[in-house]
Structures are given as structure tokens and as C-alpha cells.
Chains A and B, each alone.
Chain A
Amino acid sequence: MADSLTANQIKSMFLHVADRVISAKEVLCEADRNIGDGDHGIGMANGFEGAITELNAREFKDAYAVFRTVGRKMIQVMGGASGIIFGLLFFAGSKNMPPKPDLTTREFTEIFIKAMLEIQAKGGAKPGDKTLIDGLSSAVDAMQKSVEMGEGYKEFLDDALSGAEAGKEASKDYIARFGKAKTLGERAIGYPDAGCVTLTYIFSAMKEWAEENL
């Protein structure tokens, strides 16, 4: 049972996440087109393409630096709301952390808790507003439970994915309060938030990586 991931393992995991999200570009655009402007997949692919270049450019001894590198690059190259929101997802909880060679599931969870708080502080969204927060808060709940149960990374990431999936499903029932879907009112019901869809791709790729590598 893997209790911690090294900086290099996290880098390898992020490279897999990047591949998966880039391959899902069209699916993510379609999710956005339903209730937004249809460019979400393009932005996410841009961001993760930038992240791949940065990650491959050097070796990492600090696990937080991997998160920080991915997040900062996404903020820099993506633009749009998703550039800040997905950039902060990885950057907010890693930016001020002292270097550490590996991360426990508890430390991994902390990164996403801080991200959730900062994204809410900057964007103003709450759970139920049909934003990334719906998927993220549900994933964070699942991660915290898994940490309390003392699960290893494989089970932990599986739980995170289930949480993100549940949050995505729940977001279908909400009226959007933020983003380009907010003028739709009840016309947005039945469609999940596109950011929540992306989050499920991210955790699904992390889970896949863990199954193959741990």
C-alpha cells in the first residue's frame, strides 16, 4: 500500500493527467457548448500542453514544486476563467509550502482544500452554484474520509474520483450563478458544469496512473 508519492511520481502522474485531458479536448468543448461558449477544452488542452513542457524541462525533488509548476503555467498560458481556476487548483495549495520530497494523502488533500478555499474567495462561488466547486468540494470530502480511514493512494484516488463524479452529477440539477451559463436560468438544468467534467478527467487519470504504477 502506497502511503506517499515522491516528487517524481507526482510528475509522472501529472504527465498522464495532461495526456488524458488533452485527448478529451473535444468532449470538454462539447460540455461547454451545451451551456457556455464551447472553448473550455481548447483552454484546458493549452494549459496542460504548457505544463508538459515545463514538467519535462527539469527534475523535481520538491513535490510541491510539481503542483506549483503545473498551476503557474496554466495561469500563464490559458487565460479565461478556467486559466485562473484550474491554475489555482494546483497552485493555491502549493505556492507557499516549504519543500518536501514526498506527499502523504493528507498533504495531497490539503492542497485541494486550500485550492477550494482560494477559488471560492476569488470567484465568489459556493457549492450549488454550478461551478467547479461542486465537483471539488465533493472530491475533497471523499479525500478527507479516505485519509481518516487510512487508505493507500490507489483507494484514495479512487475515492477522489467517485467524489468528483458525484459532484458533477449533482451540478446537473443546479441553475448556474457564475460564468457564461448564468444567464440561462432553468435552461442550464440537466447539463453538468464543464469544469466539473474536467475535474473527473483529472482524477480519473490520477487513478489510472496509480493502478498502473503503484
Chain B
Amino acid sequence: MIKKAINDPKNVVQEMIEGFLALYPGKFKQIGNFSAIVKTKLESDKVGLLVGGGSGHEPIFLEYIGKGYPDAVAQGHIFAAPSPDIILAATKAIDRGRGVLYVYGNYEGDNLNFDMGAELAELEGVETATVRVYDDVASAPLDRITDRRGIAGDFFVIKIAGAACDSGLSLEEVKRVTEKARDNTRTMGVAFYPGTIPGEDTPAFTLADDEIEIGLGLHGEPGVRRGKMAPADELVDEMMGLIIDDLPYKTGDEVCLLINSFGSTTRMEEMIVLRRAIQNLVKMGIKVYNAEAGAYATCQEMAGFSVTLMRLDNELKNYFDWPVWSPVYKNQAA
């Protein structure tokens, strides 16, 4: 059996939200009985920012809320997009008359539910705009980029969107800036062990002892290719080659780097991988403006990691440096 610290699997999302709210008393609150949370104090006269997706990937999206960050988060059941009713409730909770931007990973479920949420919001007089994140290089060829999945690249795209909203830009402008962040972001992942849906006894996929899954999805859905386990440096070199050729990132570019681990990969491994990723970038003459390593988007106890790059220009740099405080991420400026 799979051992997890849960009660009735049906209650995992609500019980998680209750625990999260208790960690930050007074800062956030649940929206009615919906599995959505909102900042207690909303800054006035700004475009609202709503993010969301299936639960089970914490800290994303639950903890991506704060100052210079999203105003509300809509959580679905485990690995399932939030329903339009949850999205509508969150949209209404954060609209200050200037509209609401939706940022989420590009999956059929999220697209369908957020689109229907947007339709319902429009009926109630709230204008919305949408940026879907599709950073996963492994999930479709470049000529079908809008078929790609959103994975750890959410981290950068949400950072930029939060700053753009906080700076007071219009809905149209925050959408433009957020799309620019998305279009300059690429990710590639590799899985060593699968994760399991709480309450289920069968993992989402199985791997032989010496096998790894290249290009897996963040829901544990199978990836694009299986290979043999290899030293960290070889894995990083292969993954970065695919990322760099895809945009492509070039000598002289400035990038933010994220090493994201999927749940049970250790801090030690994050550091080893980060070190090699930076060696690769230095060798190519690509400047690392900022590097982060941590578990920012996970899949339960799945093991493995992803490498994400976001290419910066002056505008994106400004929003990347913008003050942010959130449970999951904060910077010096805040």
C-alpha cells in the first residue's frame, strides 16, 4: 500500500486549505465553501490576478499568493482543474473594476473550466483575459507549441504577471507582459519514480529499476521517452541541450534559471543539478541573472527534476526584480 498522512481522500483539499490558512493567520481566507483562497487585503485599483489548477502539486498553486503575486488561487480536486463555479467565485472576489487575468497551465481540463469561468464572469460584468503557460519542450514539437503542457515555467510566468498587475498596468498590458514571459520560458523534466494520487494504491506509471522517464507531465502522466538512469551531469546536459535549441537561447542572452524538484528528490540533488546547469550556461556565454532551486511544482512523492530557463529583456528584468512576498517565494526588495 501507499503510505500517506491523509484522512478520507475526499477531504484532502479542504483539510490542506485549512492547514495553509493556519500557517498565515489573517493574511488569506477561503472564499465561501469553495476550494479557493483570496488575500484578506486587496490593494485597490489593480487588475486582479487569479491562478489555479488541480491540487496535489503543492506549493503550486495554493501558495502562489501574496504581495506582487496572485490575489487569489482556485484549487481543483487532486490533479483536476477547478470547476467554473470555483473560478467564478474567485474572479468576483478579486475584481476591482479593472478586470482579472487568469494564468494557468495549458491542459484541456484547465482550458475548458477557465474558459467557462470566464464566460460566467462576463455574464456578471467582469472582464477577463487569459495566459496559458506551455513551457514543456518535451510535450509537443515547436510547430505545435500551443499543444505543450505547462509545468515549472509557471513559476516565472506567475512572478512576472504578479509584478505587472502590482505595477498598475491595464488588463491588456498585463496580458502582453505575461505572454512575453511565457514565450521566453522553456522547461524540460525527467522522472525517476512515480507519484500517487492520495487514496489510490497504484502509481500513475511504473519504471524499471534502472529506467527514467524523460519529458514526463506534472500529473505523472507518461512522458515521451524512456531511457536508462545516468549521472546527473549527463541528464542535465541532455535536457539543457533540448531547451536551449528550442527557443533558442544564444550567447549573450541573460536568463533566470529554475531547478524544480518534483516531491521526493532531495535538496542535495537540486544543488548538484543547479551547479551543472550553470556550468552549461557559462560555457555557452549565457549570463545567469538569477538562479533558484527548490520544490516549486511537485507531483506528490514523484522523484525527478526539471530545468527551466526564462530569457530576460529590460522590461522582464524590471518585473522580475519587482518586490514580492508570498509563502512560496519572496525577494530582497520586499
User: Majority SS of interface residues in chain B?
Assistant: loop
B204 close to A37 (CB less than 8 A): yes
Within 8 A of A (CB), among B225-267: none
With A77-B83, A83-B113, A182-B147 already in contact, the answer to whether A42 and B78 are too (CB < 8 A) is yes
Which of A30, A33, A79, A180 has the largest number of chain B CB atoms within 10 A? Answer: A79
Residues of A in contact with B (beta carbons under 8 Å apart): 29-30, 33, 35-39, 42-43, 46, 75-85, 122-123, 178-185, 187
A38 close to B86 (CB less than 8 A): no
Within 8 A of A (CB), among B55-110: 76-86, 107-109
Contacts of A30 in B (CB 8 A): 202
B112 at the interface (CB under 8 A from A): yes
Contacts of A187 in B (CB 8 A): 222
Contacts of B79 in A (CB 8 A): 37, 39, 80
Contacts of B199 in A (CB 8 A): 42
Q: Tell which of A38, A80, A84 touches B200, judged by Cβ atoms closer than 8 Å.
A: A38
B128 at the interface (CB under 8 A from A): no
For the complex, what is the distance from the CA of A182 to the CA of B149, rounded to whole Å?
Answer: 10
Contacts of B85 in A (CB 8 A): 75-76
Contacts of A36 in B (CB 8 A): 221
B54 close to A180 (CB less than 8 A): no
A45's nearest neighbour on chain B, judged by CB, is B10
Shortest beta-carbon contacts, A-B, top 7 = A80-B80, A81-B109, A79-B76, A84-B112, A37-B219, A80-B109, A180-B221
B138 at the interface (CB under 8 A from A): yes
For the complex, what is the distance from the CA of A209 to the CA of B224, rounded to whole Å?
Answer: 43
What's the nearest-Cβ distance from chain A to residue B148, in Å? 9
Which of B139, B200, B220, B221 has the largest number of chain A CB atoms within 10 A? Answer: B221
For the complex, what is the distance from the CA of A78 to the CA of B54, rounded to whole Å?
Answer: 11
For the complex, what is the distance from the CA of A196 to the CA of B76, rounded to whole Å?
Answer: 23
